[in-house]
Chain A
């Protein structure tokens, strides 16, 4: 029996593509789309613009829209009209503005704490760990961040609970007789959030510290500047971009934390995110309030971030120049 080998079109690499490029419809469509540099630019920009508009800006605009409804979600057959009631509700009750200001103050304090705690780590990593081992050390620092926020929050519960590792160690060394109630306090909440946001502070700081040429410090030392003076006059100003980026990032993130305050927070540390969430979980048409409160928080945090960026300045201006 003889056999005959027949190559099909799939074995011919030019088959489909040569058919495509000679296809009249393809030629006319792409001839039009790529016809001018302007059209080429719009074609290239389409995906990022689409992403920014529909994935980022779209939900925010929808939230803003809902915030002006009188009631939402609407039951079958009911209609809603536009109203400013949800926005004015915020200013009428301390139930809302107290957690709001508490959240802002709390986030500012946490941002400062995170900066103080992570700066030495970033400095050590960037300035004292040999360059060929920095990635390894960075990897060690990053390992906890490979798991989700909730898992890490529960890890903190295991650490700080009455039966947790910290109390067990303190008891073992005879330092305490009764467990210290760390959990469900402002301490456990602060500890948890600082731990969760530390990476967002560490990476910009490391990035800026790592770029500082070592010979600047050497030159300053040769000219008689002490360690503190070198840090104050060279290292700190040159790491300003990292400090600014880290602080803005941590502040914005920490104002929006929801799961961690719910799990670690206590009765006296209710944050604004919990107040917002409550408006969505009670069985009533209160989404406009939640949307208005979210918008107020968004506008406030962005304004504060802009003011902070202005104060810090760029290129030798502002604080830490």
Chain B
């Protein structure tokens, strides 16, 4: 029998060769393009951890999640990757569909490939806004609203019935809002249509200029123009602010966690939105994207877990049955509040944002 000596040099060389062979697939095939992966660009807490673990275990497909916090940034990233995106699924608010579709960044949704499509509440799956160019484009997953959120130990429910409270001297320096979103609400508050449906250039400019002037006038009363839901939660917990305009999801989370927060749709109204998972055009693993979407819709408990993790309302049938009373109450509104709510619409987005984006910068610079 021949006994071979393994020297240190030999061991190192063999180790290096083995590492190279093992690493070769990831060198030649980027991680996002590996066949057993699905690449999802989504907001924090939209995909619950337990669902991800279960999905990866059951299918062997690894979820590569990239967090986004803004529709505009996501659009720019996707445009920059153009014909060969690194994402299979992106998270698009219903009123932003058209922008992604016109730029040929997403594919029409093939609902026949989703055997659980009927698990989406028809209020969302059959809504008018889901159809663009006669086709469906995304799976509605979570719904939310732009709300007036407040610390219920400091601000009374009566005071919070109107957006007036945000501009009152009493709470000067104790409020915050997302400028881009709040502009639409201020237009509504001032008697204009924040969606600008049917507006021509002159009328749209009048609405934006009125909102801009109003926000500049009230600038000394605002504490912070913020960007993300987490920032709003942080400011509320630190008691840097007592009220503000916020997305309903992060406020629901605060309520679920026992913070004395409350939210309302003030009488002047506000806007709602629905987040969707959309399949990208030319994504590296579109087949896996459909497998993930179908798995997500499979059980209402998953929708409930998405609500618990994000605070937004699940669009899946029966998901509310898996929430506790507090969790249900944290995201619900009265009929009066719902009557004041309307959904963002994309019909006149090009005109709207061509005026609104510079106006936002002007308010910030004023």
Residues of A within 8 A of B (CB): 1-8, 10-11, 13, 73-77, 93-96, 98-99, 157, 161-164, 179, 181, 183-184, 262-263, 266-268, 270, 274-275, 278, 280-285, 287
Contacts and interface: CB of A to CB of B under 8 A. Distances in A.
28 contacts: A2-B1, A3-B2, A4-B1, A5-B3, A8-B10, A10-B10, A10-B13, A11-B7, A11-B10, A74-B79, A74-B82, A76-B82, A76-B104, A93-B362, A95-B362, A95-B365, A98-B365, A161-B238, A164-B238, A181-B223, A181-B240, A270-B365, A275-B361, A275-B364, A278-B360, A280-B76, A281-B72, A283-B353
A5 B2 CA distance: 6
A184 B224 contact: yes
B102 A8 contact: no
B227 interface: yes
B225 interface: yes
Contacts of A13: 9
A273 B129 CA distance: 36
Nearest to B361: A95
The 6 A-B residue pairs with the shortest CB-CB distance, nearest first, are A10-B10, A283-B72, A75-B103, A161-B238, A283-B75, A73-B79
Contacts of A162: 238-240
A280 B74 CA distance: 10
Given A8-B4, A95-B361, A275-B361, A183 B9 contact: no
Contacts of B180: 282
A184 B5 contact: no
Given A283-B71, A283-B76, A95 B238 contact: no
B162 interface: no
A193 B239 CA distance: 23
A93 B104 CA distance: 33
Contacts, number: 119
B9 A10 contact: yes
Contacts of B234: 157
Nearest to A183: B240
B118 to A, nearest CB: 32
A183 B103 CA distance: 41
A94 B365 contact: yes
A184 B357 contact: no
A183 B176 CA distance: 13
A203 B70 CA distance: 39
Interface residues of B, number: 47
Interface in B174-211: 180
B170 interface: no
B44 to A, nearest CB: 15
B178 to A, nearest CB: 12
B45 interface: no
B219 interface: yes
Contact of B365 (A6, A8, A275, A283): A275
Contacts of B116: none
A262 B69 CA distance: 14
B83 interface: yes
Contacts of B239: 161-163, 179
B240 A161 contact: yes
B238 A163 contact: yes
Contacts of A94: 365
B96 interface: yes
A157 B79 contact: no
Contacts of B57: none
Interface in B56-81: 70-73, 75-76, 79-80
B364 A270 contact: yes
A3 B238 contact: no
A283 B104 contact: no
A184 B2 contact: no
B205 to A, nearest CB: 16
Interface in B61-115: 70-73, 75-76, 79-80, 82-83, 96, 99, 102-105
